[in-house]
Structure formats: C-alpha cells, structure tokens
Structure 1
Amino acid sequence: MTETMLLDPVQVLVASDQPLQVGSAALFEDDRLIALGEEARQRAAERGVSGHNRAQQLLAPCLVDPHSSLPSPFTGSGETLKTLINSAGRAGYGQLALLPNGESERDSPERLKGFQPSDCDLKIHLWGSFTHHGEGERLSLHADLLEAGAIGLSAGEQMPSANLIDRALTLGEMDGAPVLIAPNDSNLRGDGMIREGVETLRAGWPADPTISETLPMGQLLELQRRHSNRKLVLMNLSTAAGVEMLSHATSSPLATVSWWHLVQDRSSQPAEATHWFVTPSIGGQRDRWALIQALGEGKINAVAVHGIPLDDEECLLPPDQRPKGLSGHHLVLPTLWQHLVVDLKWSVNQLWQALSFGPARLLGQDEERLSIGSNRWLLFDPDQIWDQTRAAPQAPRAANQPWLGVRMRGQVVSCGLRIPTNQVD
C-alpha cells in the first residue's frame, strides 16, 4: 500500500487478548497503521479518503515460524536467505527461526552473523546447535551461543542421547532459553517412509514404527520432570500415542507440530507421491485428529512450517536417497484456514494462537500485535483464488513444494513489512 488508504469494512484481530472485530475499519499511511474503528473512519473523512470494502478480508498480526531449515543461506541456485525472506514475508511471516543445520553447523558464535538484513522488518532468529558440529557426541558452547544471539538450542531432526541432554540441562547454561529436541530415533525408524499402518502396507512403502517417536519421547518427558526449571520443547510431535503421553505427563514440556501433519495422513498418500515424505513420518487419520485436538486445547503450543528446501537435482533422487521434507510458507495459512476455520469451525483467535501468538511465546519473544504506527500487519483474503506454481511471486525457490499446478483458495494479499526483495516477480 502507498499514501493513505481506508479499509472499511474489514475484519480486525488486534492481539491475543482481544476478540475478532467484524465490520471494523483500518486507516493506513505508507504501509503504517494509523487508526482503527471509528477513529479510522473519522480521520479518513477529514482527509477526504473513501473506504475500500474488504468485509471478507482479515487484518491481523504477522505470523511466526518457530523452526525451518535453510542449508545454503548465502550460496547456491536453490533457496537462499534472500529468496526465503521474500516468500515468507509475502506470506505474512514476521518472524522466522532457522535450525542450526546447514553447510556450516551453527555451533559457534561467529556462525551466527550476517543473517539479519538491515533493510528488512522480517526478524530472523537463529537456533544454536545443541552439540559440537551437530554430531550428537559432545555439547557445544551453549552460553557463548546464547550470548551471541541464538534464540535457543536445537539438536535438529535426531535426538541426542538422554545422558547428553541430561548433562546439558544439569549444567543449565541455557537458563530459560528454549531447548528444541525432536522425539525421533532414526535407528528405530530405519528405512521407514510412512508411519506404520494398513495403508502403508498397501502402498508398499517401508513402515516407520510408532515407537520411533514414543520411546525417545518417554525419555524427554522424564528429563522435563527432572529439570522442570528448563524450557524443553518437543519438535514436531506426530502421533496420537505421543499426544496421549504428553497429556498424561506430570511436567509437560512445550511442543510444536508441523503444519503438514495437520492436513495430510497416510490415507491420502498415493504410492507415487514421493515428494510427501517428511520427518517425522506422516501417520494415519487418528494421528492427525489427535494432533489437531491437542493444538486446539493448547497441549501443542505452536505450528511450525518446518520448511526443508530441496533443489531440482535433489528431487530427482530415488525416494530412499532423497532428503525428506517440503517447502511452502505461502501454503500454510490458506491451507489451515480451510481445514481448521472453514471445515472445523475454529475461531480466528484459535488459528492465530497456533500460527503467531503461541510460536512467539515459545521463542521467548513478544507476541505480534496490531499497533498504531506499526507496519507489522498482514491482510488475508480467504476467498482469493490463485494457482500454486513455482513462478508465483510469493513462491519459494525450492523444488519440493506440494500441490504444484493446483488452484488454491485463500491468500495474504498484502503485508506491511519492509522486505528487501518484495519487488521480485
């Protein structure tokens, strides 16, 4: 947006502690919100500014992604920091936390530099590596990483030994910073591609047993009980059994879930859809409904994009040799709006709790909110129709995007954030 613009009427969500306002108004000046409600109408009238009817659209705080990967942030022909900022910013994300894995594991302070562009309002947070070189053998310098600006500590996709985690939590160099650990045992998973079940057998894919999540999760729950003063976060909970364990824990850690596990299950997984393989594995309908219910009840605290970009060459590899994961920040809000708000009748506040307010609190950051004088807002049109293609301005550079060639409903049509690449077409 440029100059002065009045949206009237428009739906407005200001913050987590305020209800959705239907039929409100919003006045902007050079992408900054300068008034809401009756004050916006009055000031627009004084300036002779007429309103634009956006009754079906939603003005809301920016979204927050608690963890995604970017293996080659500054080099390569695939997804880079610049292209990721462009796609995530256009999708309404105001904060993005990157996992420490990549060409250079972020296990030392000097590797945390150069990620925040000076002309960018999208905040880039960095997880520091929990172990030296990310190898899971010995601890990295936790205090140094956090002092250098790391948002917290993460061990990536594979859980280190319980003894090593226990030692780190006992030393306590992380103090109150989050420690992100995946309840995932790759040895138990083996060659598994899809969570075990009848559909997995029918499709002919190697099965990933449920215990690859529940056994390491049992250890993490015990560690949280022993170290209740630490902020342990379970990364990407994926099974109904895991949800049940979390529900019965005496000292529950925080937990995230990947958006993909909320919208897909193995019953809709055709045998040829090899680009859908992710870590943790996709489960059955019971798993998906349990995750949705836990998210709605607040037992799971945040939805992560958990983007893992692959280039064209990587996508040509056989499924058992290809890195697992998918990309698509621009797909998350439209898809979850359809599944949760339209189909399951979630409130807008519930959805923003999962996509913005909860993730911000998990990262130890202030919640996003609409503030007068601020450009930290997004405008979402749930009825906007668009084609999901790699050539779309809001699409990432990654080759492993789902639903390519599919017509989508719902899109962030505007965002006030200053994005250095927002003119890329």
Structure 2
Amino acid sequence: MTNSELLQQVRVIDPVSGTDQIADVLIANGTIEAVEENISKLPSKTSVRDCRGLVLGPGLVDLYSHSGEPGFEERETLPSLIQAARSGGFTRVAILPNTTPPLDNPAGLARLQRLAGDITDKLSVPPPLYFWGAITLGVQGQQMTELAELADSGIVGFTDGQPLQNLALVRRLLEYLKTLSKPIALWPEYRELAGNGVMREGINSIRLGLPGNPSISETAALAALLEVVEAVGTPVHIMRVSTGRSVQLIWEAKVRGLPITASTTWMHLLLDTEAISSYNTSLRLSPPLGSPADRAALKRGVQQGIIDAIAIDHTPYSYEEKTVAFGEAPPGAIGLELALPLLWQNLVETGEWSALELWRVLSTQPAVCLKQIPAAIAPGQPAEVILFDPQLTWKVQKQNLKSLSYNTPWLGQDLIGRVIVGVRG
C-alpha cells in the first residue's frame, strides 16, 4: 500500500480559499503536500490517479441528522449511518439527541461515544460522529438537563431537535448556556398553530385534501425567539427554516446585529408542495415542504448568506412505518447519500449556483456553525477531502444504498453524480 497519491488534473473546489481550478494534488500520509498546476516530481511509490472530469472538495459537514441506534436499530445502526455518510461524502455528521434513550445525560452519551469510537476504529477513512446534547430531560421541553455536565462530556452543542414551546424556559436556557460557549440549535415552531397539519397550508393542501400546517406556526415562533435572543444576547443557530417569511425575519435580525446563524434542509431547496400530489410518504416532512415561493426564497436566502448552511436532517424509517396513508406517516426522509448529487444536478449543472456556492454551504459554513475549523485544500492541511464524479449515473435502489432505510421520493430513479472515494487525514 502506497503512502502517497497524486490526483492528476482534478477540479479542485475549495471554499476556504475561494478557488475553483484544475490542478494536480499530491496527498501523502493523510496530508495535502502540494496543489499545483502540474506536479512532476513525486516521492517514490506514489500512486497516480487520472482525475480528469472529477471534482475534489473538502469533506461535507452535516449539522443535524438522526440515528436509529440506540432504540430503533431496524431503521439505522451507527455502522450503517457511518457507511451512508461516507458514501455521500460526509466526513463530519452531528447526531441529534432524540435517540432511545435520549442523549440527556453524560453516561448515556459516553456509551454512544464509545460505541461510535469502536466502529470508526475499524474503518480506514471514518467520518467522525459528533453528538448533540439534549437541552431538556427526555427532549420533552419541560425541565433543563444538567447542561454544564453535558458540556464537559464532549458534545458538539445543545439542542432537543424538537420545538420548545415555553418561551420562559427558552429565556432561562439561553441565559444559562451563554457561559458554556457551545453551539445552540433551536427549531422554531408553535405546535398549537401547526395543529394536525401534514403539509404546508395553502392552495395545494386544499386541492389534495390534506390538513394544512400554516406558515405562521414557524414564523410566529421565530419572531418570538428572535426577541428572546435580542434580549439575552446568546448566539443561536436556527434549524429547519422552511418559509420565505422566515428568511426575511432572519435577514432583518442579522441587519440588527443579532448573533444568529440559520440552516434549511436540502429537500426544501429542491421540492415544494406541488410535489406532494404524488402522495409519496417520503415527502411527509417536518417542517413540511413550502410553497414554490417559499422554495425560491430559501434558495435566494442561501445564495445571499442569509441562510448560512444546508443541513441533511437524515431521518430513516422502515418500509413498514412509511407504507401508510400520507397523513399517518412519520415525517422524514433519508438524505446523506443523495444530497450532493441532487443539489449538484439541480443547482450547479443548471447554472443557478456556482460549484463554490454549493460546496460552501455543505462543508465550510456548517463547520463554522458548529464552531469547528473548516477543512481546506491547501499544502499542510489534513486530507479531509472527497472525490465526486458529477457524471456518474446510478440508480437509487435498496441494494445501492448503505443506509438500512430507503424512505426517499427518489427511490427507483436514476441519479447523475456520486462520491467515489473519501479520504480523511
């Protein structure tokens, strides 16, 4: 096995330096040794890979996704989650705490960290799993966890991954967490306003005969949350932004100098309520898909930096759980293996976004939101990189997915673009 590899004439996309260029890249012992127009002088026993037509970019970073393990291993185990992440180009994945039991105490967190460590030690290029610590006991939104103890347990940050309904509790949490210097992610939604809605309220929900969830369930909660953030001053990451009005509220808050970042999910950029006419239960999401105007506003918001990052929110469910009526299906879809090729084909190949813009919000900016150092493609940097073939065609089938679940509206379809190898120094 060689210790060094030359990637010849690969398209290098590096948001940290803002470069998109064709170059030779030499990697040795897990470190990027050189990035030059042409590298002719090589160490002995260097393997050479012709990378014409391929893209080399920093590993992708996922802000929040779900693990089936512990509690629902039939949906996803930690090994299958890691393999799905690797297959999709993700070198860092942050896991939400609503496992069974939830990650609301240091002992439970330590058990899962040990299990993840045992698995990743057996892999040659494992993406590290990071774990969010729960803000409230049982992620029930009622009583604070031992926040200081969790902060010392190696968590990436704090979130329940569920909307908090008690604003007085939110205020106390932000006051307490201000001194702990960990990322805090909150999902604004008022469940009473959402009611039993299973898709975004509007002309399409009426046409399809499905209960509607009004956009104010999100925007009213977001407006209230922003008031609390402004009063307390604790930085907050706003999860799962799904409406155009929310984009406007976030922009206005950033103009006022509020310490916030925000993310939307990849599916909310690609699909809207018009897609739900198929009644495919993999389109049952929470928050629900927005209107076409919402989707357009979200895309603009990401391009303009109002929305800082794209999250995957990988949510696996078994075939049996999703094979029910649309309104009865649990919300969520898988995405770790699908996000990059679909976003690339629908946004980059169409010329709507540049490759740098997409990579920035899938890699660099999510790392910044997690208060991590982004990976970069430069001499002396760890080789936390992936190779992506934007023209490779493959079919989304159970046997072609590393995830144990296959709840996706793209099941059975041909996709163009796939990660072919990942490296982490």
Same fold (TM over 0.5): yes
Shift of 1:175: 2.9
The equivalences for 1:396-411 within 5 A come to: 396-411=403-418
For residues 239-277 of structure 1, give each alpha carbon's deviation from its aligned partner in whole angstroms, at most 9, with x where no partner exists: 011111112222442111010000000122224212210
Does residue 267 of structure 2 align to residue 260 of structure 1? Answer: yes
Moved more, 343-352 or 163-172: 343-352
Where do 5+ consecutive residues of structure 2 fail to align? Answer: none
SS across alignment from 1:415: strand
Where do 5+ consecutive residues of structure 1 fail to align? Answer: 419-425
Q: Distance in 1 between matches of 2:346 and 2:335?
A: 17
Does residue 386 of structure 2 align to residue 378 of structure 1? Answer: yes
Moved more, 92-101 or 318-327: 318-327
Aligned match of 1:158 = 163
Shift of 1:410: 0.7
Shift of 1:174: 5.2
Q: Distance in 2 between matches of 1:231 and 1:373?
A: 29
Tell me if structure 2 keeps the 8 A contact 1:153–1:178: yes
For 2:402, give the aligned amino acid: A
Q: Distance in 2 between matches of 1:374 and 1:255?
A: 28
SS across alignment from 2:237: strand
Q: Distance in 2 between matches of 1:235 and 1:377?
A: 26
Moved more, 277-286 or 366-375: 366-375
For 1:217, give the aligned amino acid: L
Q: CA-atom RMSD, angstroms?
A: 2.2
Tell me if structure 1 keeps the 8 A contact 2:26–2:33: yes
For residues 151-209 of structure 1, give each alpha carbon's deviation from its aligned partner in whole angstroms, at most 9, with x where no partner exists: 11112222231110101112336532121111112221111111112122111111110
Aligned match of 2:107 = 110
The equivalences for 1:76-155 within 5 A come to: 76-113=73-110, 114-115=112-113, 116-118=116-118, 119=121, 121-155=126-160
Q: Distance in 2 between matches of 1:290 and 1:139?
A: 35
Does residue 348 of structure 2 align to residue 341 of structure 1? Answer: yes
Q: Distance in 2 between matches of 1:277 and 1:50?
A: 47
For residues 50-86 of structure 1, give each alpha carbon's deviation from its aligned partner in whole angstroms, at most 9, with x where no partner exists: 8544232111110000001114247633311110000
Q: Distance in 1 between matches of 2:284 and 2:179?
A: 33
The alignment covers a number of residue pairs equal to 413
Shift of 1:2: 5.8
Of residues 203, 206, 213 in structure 2, which corresponds to 1:201? 206
For 1:237, give the aligned amino acid: V
Aligned match of 1:16 = 16
Aligned match of 1:7 = 7
Shift of 1:33: 4.1
Shift of 1:130: 0.9
The equivalences for 1:236-385 within 5 A come to: 236-249=240-253, 250-252=256-258, 253-370=260-377, 372=380, 374-385=382-393
Tell me if structure 2 keeps the 8 A contact 1:178–1:362: yes
Does residue 35 of structure 2 align to residue 36 of structure 1? Answer: yes
Q: Distance in 1 between matches of 2:15 and 2:197?
A: 42
The equivalences for 1:179-218 within 5 A come to: 179-218=184-223
Q: Distance in 1 between matches of 2:48 and 2:146?
A: 55
SS across alignment from 1:20: strand
Shift of 1:17: 2.4
Q: Distance in 2 between matches of 1:272 and 1:386?
A: 25
TM-score if structure 2 supplies the norm length?
0.91
Q: Distance in 2 between matches of 1:20 and 1:41?
A: 18
For residues 116-136 of structure 1, give each alpha carbon's deviation from its aligned partner in whole angstroms, at most 9, with x where no partner exists: 325154121111111111111
Moved more, 203-212 or 394-403: 394-403
SS across alignment from 2:399: coil
Tell me if structure 2 keeps the 8 A contact 1:159–1:216: no
SS across alignment from 1:138: coil
Tell me if structure 1 keeps the 8 A contact 2:199–2:205: yes
Moved more, 279-288 or 177-186: 177-186
Aligned match of 1:66 = 63
Tell me if structure 2 keeps the 8 A contact 1:143–1:173: no
1:166–1:247 distance in 2 versus 1, CA, 3 Å: same
Q: Distance in 1 between matches of 2:21 and 2:145?
A: 47
Shift of 1:8: 2.1
Moved more, 209-218 or 362-371: 362-371
Tell me if structure 2 keeps the 8 A contact 1:157–1:279: no
SS across alignment from 2:293: helix
Q: Distance in 2 between matches of 1:354 and 1:172?
A: 26
Q: Distance in 1 between matches of 2:185 and 2:272?
A: 24
SS across alignment from 2:294: helix
